[in-house]
Amino acid sequence: MLHAKESASVQEVRVKVEKAYAAFLKYLAYDQQRVDAIVEAMGAAGRANARRLAEMAVEETGYGNVRDKIVKNLLNSDLLPRSIRGMKTVGLLREIPEQGIVEYGVPVGVVAAVLPTTNPTSTVFYKTIISLKAGNAIVISPHPRAAKCTKAAADLMYEAAIKAGAPEDIIQCITEPTMESTRALMRHERVAVILATGGHAMVKAAYSSGKPAFGVGPGNVAVYLERSADVADAVAKVVEGKAFDYGTVCSSEQALVAEEALKPAIVAELKRLKAFFCNEEQKRALEKTLLKDNFRINPECVGQSPTRIAEMAGFRVPEDTSIIVVELQGVGKEHPLSVEKLSPVLALYFVRDHAAALDTCEALTRFGGLGHTCVIHSKDEARIREFAERMPAMRVLVNTASPPGSTGITTLLQPSMTLGCGAMGGNVTGDNVGPLHLINIKRLAYQVRTAEEALPIPAEYKDLEAKPAPLPAAAAPVSSGIDRQAIAAAVERYLAERGIRTAPVNTVDAATVAAQVVDRFLSKKRVAPPPVCPCAQGPGACQIAAPKPAPAPAPEQPAAPPPLPPAPEIVIADFVCENDVREAIAAKKKIYIGPKTIVTPSARDLGTQHDILVLAKR
């Protein structure tokens, strides 16, 4: 049973999804020009309020810092709208006359947006802008610890969209989010696709909801500082990326790997940039503070400053410390700080050679960051390409800090806050998710060739053209390998051994022989007349010859009941859609489905809810 708050929140989800869906149906009539005007207005509103919302996010969540959260807000209200300006997403997309293909953009419908606590306002900008750019409506589910600032950002986007001419209710936000309301949102029949950003459990719930979903995996970003790199430039960018918003970006650097020969130069640069190096005792204290059981990150440590992290671990660092550095000797469970840390704490590895550096970077990526992001600083193009081909990551960045590189600030990747990890990371895509992921493409295709031109038949098959399949010939007798005459002879011997003599048979064929032998055998089994008494006692006295009395007649049986009427025939549906289920609900009927029946997700959800679908076995 749901608690009162959860019940009210679930009801709020239902109402707001229906409102968003109604708005989406109106939004379908908007052309590209009207859609783009709405997106531009939303971007302008985000830029004007970037600082205010950054301050709200830090105050409410306690994560990160205002300066870097402003950068995140501008990424999604300035760079993102500029990068998608001119992108066609609705109506006619393109024509390819030489191929006879015309493509149209088709919005997916209502987008369910699940938001994190680490980047609450910037993710609202990002998800609302790409959803409305693609012609969709959106319903936002904030993280409970960031509900206030998330709602403020959503209201800002909504007001800007309405002023630019968007339909009312096109952007909706849940005011009192709960886990139950988030699940209800992801499973709602009107929701077309899910954009999930958050922890592993939330992303897993999105993928198991039965809806198409774009989620992300954790990032354990390894950085290889290769021999040919500019050490000072590379170290500065690593510190910049690790310190950005106190490590809350999933693509922030987690470990720096280099050859032993570079150690003096790298350590000197890190210290120059105010990095604090932990001793063994401090390292063990950090392990206990940052991580909980099963390598889960302590949420109290996420996005905290270096001084705060050190204080929580029981030691002090200078106030101007940029990041905390711990040198490690291996990767895996025996080395807890080799995982993603979501804080300004950097692991440092020095290895013997290039091969060992590649091995370490790959091991780090596989240990909790599979498919996400990795970085190389190098001037050697051959080694850059070798690194890219070797690493199990969907983004391989070169000579840049990781957070701005992965999100499209310092690279020309699609500006995005949802960085897919591909199939290897359990995600549906390895892309930086953008508007084109939230549309379907309908294609008009003209005939441009004949079947013979597309698929010419090889010469050796020409004799098969236009010939009807031959009718099956009459079945010829198939030899079973059994000698029927030998069987007949064996039966004769069996009868003779038991004193049953038969007349010789002039066998004509095997079938006749078998029939005659069987007839003779059965004739010997017929009931013989009673034997004549050999004694003088006379009939009735002799027990041998006395006939047995006839059995008493059986009592009269009652008449058999009339047969029952035949059971009604069950028709198993081949395909069931949502409308079929609604009609069955109205008619108070069941829909019988079999193992091969195709049932749409919305039909299955609605049918299960109303107990309409019945699995029938043929």
Closest-CA residue to 11 (of 178, 148, 167): 178
Neighbours of 370 (CB within 10 A): 19
User: Which DSSP letter does residue 291 get?
Assistant: B
Distance between CA atoms of residues 115 and 201, nearest Å: 13
Task: Give the active site residues.
Answer: 250
Q: Which helix (H) or strand (E) holds 569?
A: none
Q: Is 198 left (phi over 0), alpha (psi -120 to 50) or beta?
A: left
DSSP conformation class of 570: P
DSSP code of residue 76: I
State the residue for tokens 């399949």: 469
Contact 128, 171 (CB under 8 A): yes
DSSP labels for 19-62?
HHHHHHHHHTT--HHHHHHHHHHHHHHHHHTHHHHHHHHHHHH-
Angle at CA of residue 181, ends 178 and 184, nearest 5° = 155
The helix/strand/coil state of 78 is: helix
Query: Parallel, antiparallel, or unpaired: how do β-strands 221-225 and 275-277 relate?
Result: unpaired
Q: Can you tell me whether residue 469 is helix, strand or coil? A: coil
Reduced 3-state DSSP string for 393-457: EEEEEECCCHHHHHCCCCCCCCCCCCECCCHHHCCCCCCECCHHHHEEEEEEECCCCCHHHHCCC
| 154 vs 140: CA distance, rounded Å | 8
Residue 458 CA to residue 437 CA, distance in Å, equals 41
Nearest-angstrom CA–CA distance, 224 and 226: 6
| Residue 332 bridge partners (DSSP) | 335
81-119 core/surface letters (b: 16 or more CB in 10 A; e: else): bebbeebbbbeebeeeeeeeebbbbbbbbbbbbbbbbbb
- Phi/psi for 177 (5° steps) reads -70, 145
Strand partners, 371: 393
